[in-house]
Structure 1
């Protein structure tokens, strides 16, 4: 009989409800931002890998332009230059290119020329270098001059510097885009925090009169939006991983294009995304909540 007269148990509602109708939209927006940030990171990694591959390839190569002297034929001068370079320590291979190959290299610059035989076309010698201990240009040039050859050595240092400069620009641009996306995510979280505080302004004032500290109330918003951002970051990172895998498969194992090679290990770069998103959201929510609570009270 006593159970019939028991009063219903009353449980206070949380200051911030566990589920909000606006959480879905917020998660979607932050997830899209996280996806864009992850794709930017993958693009920068691919660009850096491509630049390092090109630089390593050029570091192991050199081109020698040979001009004949006197009555010596261009082919003979090129063959003598290749033989001279082949004996230098650090040179893996040196071979004189055929006359037709030299013509093919200059035709795009000269256009349709009826007879290239009348032009003093120099011969080229392709030199493969030891990447670990390549000889310097001075060593190659001195060896050629010692044999009385009129030749110019190009170690592609100009191209290597351009590639490294381009890779550096890509890294800085990627970092700038990442910071812009992080700033956009922080602005979204700050806006959501303002909306949440505005909807609970009366409760904040009552809690303050009851002795609740600003830090305690701000911490509630910080934890709430950190969880939301972590969830959104997980969705965004997962979408980026799937997109990266599809790009690699579509590109035949190299990526969407050989210019930007993509490796399976690159997907690991997106794993910190949920933690970074949670950290950005926590900071933005804490600062915004602390500022607004101070104004309210």
Structure 2
């Protein structure tokens, strides 16, 4: 008697392996949650990178001059003079001298409002905007301020830009690592569910084997079934992740949590990610189910 693969039943391959909503519903929920978390991790990593680019762009396009108060000198006049000196140098397009009220506003988050004595000397800030098309003035600005006899310090913000880049790389690494862990968890859950489904239908599988069905045919039945389940769960998880990302982007979250919130940047990357997530979930479920079922069948016959 020659071995042959039985023809598909009138109801299609699913008639041999009908879905069981009682068993499939918990798996669907778990898979949807895993896809949701993976999408949130990916959008969070993307948001961290975009946020870091905006911050570093702002830091690298400006420098700050700190005017330290000196007895016998008017700090506000020194700040105005420092702004005028900065404007004479090439590569500088704007210079704004801030007053004491601005310095008090910078300290307010830590010291509160109205807690500083009026006679307490505070350093004043001069904000300098650079022309990105020209090289930065470098040490020339500090030399010009020293030559004018001003007690001033130039901060080019480079150390802050480096810190922001490191934070962005860390957030991206964490996001990608979480995605890989969630993909592995999803594959393990689907493999376990596929083995449980095989055990629950072992009589049907034995009948198919007696009729000549090969292992790859039986594994294909589970592969198609779990692909559709993973695809549907992926759609549900991706839609929920998109809604959460949009809500987080529209909300007014604290600035120190910006790296940990999903971000909707309204560009094709986010849309492609959410469209690709269900397909990847379906493929992961299909491959995991096929490998698990094929391994069990090899051990049975």
Q: Answer yes or no: is the 8 Å Cα contact 1:91–1:134 preserved in 2.
A: no
- Which blocks of at least 5 consecutive residues in structure 1 are unaligned? 1-9
Q: Give the secondary-structure state (helix, strand or coil) at the position aligned to 1:94.
A: strand
**For 1:231 and 1:169, how far apart are their aligned partners in 2?**
32
In structure 2, the residue matched to 1:263 is 265
Within a 5 Å distance, the mapping from 1:219-238 to structure 2 comes to 219-238=220-239
Within a 5 Å distance, the mapping from 1:23-62 to structure 2 comes to 23-62=24-63
Q: 1:19 to 1:99 in 2, by over 3 A?
A: closer
In structure 2, the residue matched to 1:116 is 119
**For 2:80 and 2:249, how far apart are their aligned partners in 1?**
44
Q: 1:291 to 1:136 in 2, by over 3 A?
A: farther
Q: 1:57 to 1:17 in 2, by over 3 A?
A: same
Q: Aligned pair 1:190/2:191, yes or no?
A: yes
Scaled by the length of structure 1, what TM-score is found? 0.79
Within a 5 Å distance, the mapping from 1:178-217 to structure 2 comes to 178-205=179-206, 207-208=208-209, 212-217=213-218
**For 1:246 and 1:112, how far apart are their aligned partners in 2?**
37
In structure 1, the residue matched to 2:294 is 290
Q: 1:151 to 1:178 in 2, by over 3 A?
A: same
Q: Give the secondary-structure state (helix, strand or coil) at the position aligned to 2:178.
A: helix
Within a 5 Å distance, the mapping from 1:86-165 to structure 2 comes to 86-102=87-103, 105=106, 108=110, 112-116=115-119, 119=121, 121-165=122-166
Greater Rg, structure 1 or structure 2?
1
Q: Which range moved further: 127-136 or 89-98?
A: 127-136
Q: 1:202 to 1:13 in 2, by over 3 A?
A: farther
Paired residues in the alignment total 282
Work out which structure has the larger RCO, using CA pairs closer than 8 Å and 6 or more positions apart in sequence: 2
Q: 1:166 to 1:187 in 2, by over 3 A?
A: same
Scaled by the length of structure 2, what TM-score is found? 0.78
Q: Which range moved further: 185-194 or 101-110?
A: 101-110
Q: Answer yes or no: is the 8 Å Cα contact 1:34–1:273 preserved in 2.
A: yes
- Which blocks of at least 5 consecutive residues in structure 2 are unaligned? 1-8
**For 2:132 and 2:38, how far apart are their aligned partners in 1?**
36
In structure 2, the residue matched to 1:4 is none
Q: Which range moved further: 132-141 or 257-266?
A: 257-266
Q: Aligned pair 1:65/2:69, yes or no?
A: no
Measured after TM superposition, the shift of residue 53 of structure 1 is: 1.6
